[in-house]
């Protein structure tokens, strides 16, 4: 089993790093998923009998790694879900995109998730918004490193909003150029208010996979 990296835990929440290519929760593939891994960790560490409660309050796409928080009680889950609904949970991503971005930007689109699992820009879609900051540019390879701040959390949002403007993510097999190198998208920072103490908490984990060495 993949070793679980725990950034923080108490009786109410647990914050972990989702490895690249691990599911957030189980699907039809029956492959190992993070929700099951965290439940097993809690069961073993605290010698829990029977089923372990663990609330999934947000997800990351399978190929995307990064910081995730899980709720250890139903009250914590409810309060974290309320924060997400009210845009009080801040999600920051790093991405490498094809093309040279000259300045910071702000994208607003209507995104529609189709039955085949793809997401497209469509008038009948849901309002989707993000801002980004250009961190570095590789003029020779025509690549840009950006920090992305999600203002909404739609299916494949970052990938589709950049790709639809001609800046597909490096390594994006679905919306990009088909490079089989893993996707250059990572949820490096998560901020939220503790569901019980109300303290603002921020957790950061930088990516270490080979794809990110382009900008080392």
The angle at the Cα of 57, spanning 127 to 132, to the nearest 5 degrees, equals 45
What's the Cα-to-Cα distance from 61 to each of 113, 121, 122, rounded to whole Å?
Answer: 14, 19, 21
Please give the sequence-ordered ranges of beta strands (E in DSSP) within the chain, or none if there are none: 5-9, 13-18, 55-56, 65-71, 90-98, 105-113, 119-121, 126-138, 143-150, 185-193, 200-204
Tokens coding 216: 């080392």
Q: List the one residue out of 159, 162, 163, 165 whose CA is nearest residue 186.
A: 159
**Which one of the listed residues 10, 27, 61, 138 is annotated catalytic?**
61
Q: Tell me whether residue 61 is one of the annotated catalytic residues.
A: yes
Catalytic positions: 61
């Amino acid at each position: 089993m993949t070793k679980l990296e725990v950034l923080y835990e108490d009786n109410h929440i647990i914050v972990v790093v989702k490895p690249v290519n691990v599911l957030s929760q189980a699907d039809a593939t029956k492959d190992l998923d993070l929700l099951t891994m965290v439940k097993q960790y809690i069961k073993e560490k605290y010698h829990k009998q029977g089923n372990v409660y663990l609330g999934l309050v947000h997800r990351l796409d399978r190929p995307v790694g990064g910081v995730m928080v899980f709720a250890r009680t139903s009250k914590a889950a409810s309060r974290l879900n309320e924060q997400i609904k009210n845009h009080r949970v801040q999600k920051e991503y790093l991405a490498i995109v094809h093309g040279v971005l000259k300045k910071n930007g702000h994208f607003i689109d209507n995104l529609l998730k189709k039955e085949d699992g793809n997401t497209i820009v469509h008038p009948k879609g849901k309002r989707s918004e993000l801002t980004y900051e250009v961190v570095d540019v590789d003029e020779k390879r025509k690549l840009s490193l950006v920090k992305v701040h999600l203002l909404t959390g739609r299916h494949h949002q970052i990938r589709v909003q950049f790709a639809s403007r001609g800046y597909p993510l490096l390594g994006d097999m679905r919306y990009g150029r088909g490079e089989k190198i893993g996707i250059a998208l990572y949820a490096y920072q998560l901020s939220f208010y503790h569901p019980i103490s109300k303290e603002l908490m921020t957790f950061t984990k930088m990516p270490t996979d080979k794809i990110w060495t382009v900008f080392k």
